[in-house]
Amino acid sequence: METRYTDVLLVTANVGSLFDNLGDIQREWLQELYKTIHSFKPKFIALHFQEVGGKDYIVNMGHAEDFFGLESNENMKDYDRVCIYVDKHFQAEGFTALGSMYFIHKTLNNIYQYDFNAKDFKAVSGHNKYMGSLEGVTTVEKEKFPRHFWPDFKWSRKGFMRTRWIIHNQGLDLVNVHLFHDASNLTACESSPSIYSANRKNALRYIINRISDNRFTPQPFFLFGDFNFRLDTLNLIQHLSTTAEVQTVRKDSNDKVEKIICEEKDNDHQVLLQIEEKLFAYVHQAYFREDNVSSLLKYDKEAAAFQDVIREEDITFPPSYPYSEDYTKPTQYMNTRCPAWCDRILMSHTAQEFIHRREDDGDHGIVYNTLGPNVCMGDHKPVFLFFSLRTTHH
């Protein structure tokens, strides 16, 4: 039995702000992607996008064609097989705004893609581009979350999209995920875990159940997308304001909290932290940067609820969201939300077994990081995982 290694690059990116600020951000964004591909030279690339078209998708969706034209870029010429799925049919009930792109290097031979209709794997050839409703496209499975799941919440285009592959005898599912966000910072810090966190937990459990049910033989899987995981805001605020006086400002006499203000007692009542529905202004923003990652991670608890089925490589990078969309401030966070690791690459325990862990010859090994840490990439920094897939060949 011969062991083979295939270098794989997985990237997840919420690209909403690329469509809302076309031009500079998009150009730099693509530059960073090509740089990363050039540096790691993967044989298989999977790009998972969320919020294709941005918030104003009805106006912006026309630009999707240009953005997804990266397949014909000079930098991608060695990838002779491409599969592109973009759900841009925004009139449809099941619209998810998800896009998945897969690139196969000309030297990678044994690769097949699953047809969910025929329940069989087929060789991949040429450029296959599906942009529209994706109804009737049999090599992708797409689902928007069922409405009855969250009757109390504003309905949104959240859901998931799955493709299935065989690389040198090894089957795997690649699942593009977009879960619910925190609509209000004030609601998010009412309880621990927050009500939003509970919703995301239900949604993720739903996805895992769907991709593991008996309609198709379950495979090892990678789930990567915008999970919208947030820090445990209530406990974090308590920690940040230990030396502060906390005031809750209510609107009129009715109960609704309008803002939370933490003032330093011994420093002229300087406002340390102010929280409103869409404001999270913390004076010491550097707290969320590199050198503090390990102490912040204890407030990152949402993935831990799924330890029975999924795991993740160690996070060593700062939170991936919400970065400034100002071109000149690529490493600053906006003060709209508490910074968090929204964008993640998770894998089943069975998938982890095929990741080759090399300790020798100073090569890349496994890299889990953000793309373009010092360049404006929009409000989400894309997150990537590079690894060698170990497969056996008879």
Model's pTM, two decimal places? 0.96
Compute the distance between CA of residue 329 and CA of residue 85 in angstroms, rounded to an integer. 32
Percentage of the chain modeled with pLDDT above 70? 96
Res. 364 pLDDT band, cuts 50 70 90:
low
pLDDT at 62 over 90: no
Average pLDDT over residues 376-385: 97
Q: Residues of the chain with pLDDT > 90: what percent?
A: 73
CA distance 58 to 220: 36
Helix (H) or strand (E) holding 186: helix 185-188
Confidence of residue 360 (pLDDT cuts 50, 70, 90): low
- pLDDT recorded at residue 309: 95
**CATH code at 2-231+283-393:** 3.60.10.10
Biggest alpha carbon distance in the chain?
A: 75
pLDDT reading at 64 higher than 80: no
Which pLDDT tens digit goes with each residue over 206-220?
999 999 999 999 999
The pLDDT score that the predictor gives to residue 348 is: 97
Amino acid at 332: Q
Return the minimum-mean-pLDDT range out of 21-35, 118-132, 186-200.
21-35
In the chain, domain spans = 2-231+283-393
**pLDDT at residue 36, rounded to an integer:** 97
Distances (CA, A) of 57 to 15, 61, 98, 147, 343: 12, 5, 12, 21, 21
Mean pLDDT score of the chain: 91
Taking the C-alpha atoms of residue 16 and residue 379, their distance in angstroms, rounded to an integer, is 8
